[in-house]
Structure 1
Amino acid sequence: MTFVPHRRRLLESTEDAEPMNWARALLLMGIAAGVLWVIEIVNWTLDQRLDRFGLRPRELAGLEGVVTMPFLHSGLWPLLSNTPAFIVLGWAVLISGLRVWAVSTSLIVVLGGLLTWFVAPSGLIIGVSSLVFGWLGYLLARAFFSRRLLWIIGAVVAAFMFSGLFAGLIPSVNSNSSWQAHLCGFVAGLFVGWLLHPRKQKRLPLPAKGKLRSSGPAEGTAPAPTS
Structure 2
Amino acid sequence: MLSNSKGQPSLARTVKSQATILGGTVASFWALEIFDQFLPRSLSLDNWGIHPRDVHDLLNIFFAPFLHVGFAHLIANTVPFVVLGWLIMVRSVRDFFLVSLIGIIVSGLGVWLFGDPNSVTVGASGVIFSYLGFLLLRGYFDRSWQSIAIALVVGFFFGGALWGMLPVQTGITMISWQAHLFGFIGGVLAAWLLTSRRRTAY
Give the TM-score normalised by the residue count of structure 2. 0.82
Q: Is the 8 A contact 2:169 2:177 kept in 1?
A: no
Q: 1:94 and 1:125, CA in 2 relative to 1: closer, same or farther beyond 3 A?
A: same
**In structure 1, which of residues 188, 192, 195 is the aligned counterpart of residue 193 of structure 2?**
195
Q: Over residues 112-166 of structure 1, what are the superposed CA-to-partner deviations in whole Å (9 max), with x where a residue is unaligned?
A: 2112211112110000000000110011121110011011111111121112311
Q: CA 1:84/1:173 → structure 2, altered by over 3 Å: closer, same or farther?
A: closer
Offset at residue 51 of structure 1 (A): 0.8
Does residue 40 (structure 1) correspond to residue 12 (structure 2)? The answer is no
Aligned mates of 2:191, 2:10 — CA distance in 1: 17
Alignment partner of 1:63: what SS? helix
Could you tell which deviates more after superposition, 83-92 or 160-169?
Answer: 160-169
TM-aligned CA deviation for residue 61 of structure 1: 2.1
> Where does residue 178 of structure 2 map in the other structure?
180
User: What is the CA-CA distance between 1:46 and the residue it aligns to?
Assistant: 1.2
CA distance in 1, matches of 2:152, 2:136: 8
Matched, 1:72 2:67: yes
Answer yes or no: is the 8 Å Cα contact 1:130–1:181 preserved in 2.
Answer: yes
Aligned-partner residue type, residue 33 of structure 1: V
**Cα distance, 1:173–1:67 mapped onto 2, change above 3 Å:** closer
Partner of 1:125: 121
Q: Which moved more, 1:174-183 or 1:19-28?
A: 19-28
Rounded to whole Å, the distance in 2 between the matches of 1:99 and 1:70 is 19
Q: Percent identity?
A: 32
Q: Distance in 2 between matches of 1:183 and 1:51?
A: 21
Residue 144 (structure 1) aligned to one of 140, 144, 154: 140
* Counterpart residue identity of residue 69, structure 2: S
Identify if the C-alpha distance between structure 1 residues 64 and 151 changes in structure 2 by more than 3 Å, giving closer, same or farther: same
Deviation at 1:19?
A: 10
Q: Distance in 1 between matches of 2:10 and 2:134?
A: 17
Instruction: Measure, in 2, the Cα distance between the counterparts of 1:136 and 1:143.
Output: 12
Give the one of 133, 155, 165 matched to 1:159: 155
Judge which range, 175-184 or 73-82, deviates more: 175-184
1:96 aligns with 2:94: no
Q: How far does residue 65 in structure 1 lie from its aligned partner after superposition?
A: 1.6
Q: What TM-score do you get using the length of structure 1 for normalisation?
A: 0.74
2-structure distance, mates of 1:151, 1:191 = 16
SS of the residue corresponding to residue 63 of structure 2 reads: helix
Whole-angstrom CA distance in 2 between matches of 1:171 and 1:192: 23
Q: 2:97, 2:10 → 1: CA distance?
A: 13
What residue is the counterpart of 2:6 in the other structure?
Answer: none
Give 1:32's aligned amino acid: T
Secondary structure at the aligned position of 2:126 is classed as helix
Structure 2, unpaired ranges of 5+: 1-8
How many equivalent residue pairs?
184
Check whether the contact 1:40–1:72 (CA below 8 A) recurs between aligned residues.
yes
**Which sits farther off after the overlay, 159-168 or 137-146?**
159-168
Structure number with greater Rg is 1
Contact 1:139–1:155 (Cα < 8 Å) also in 2: yes
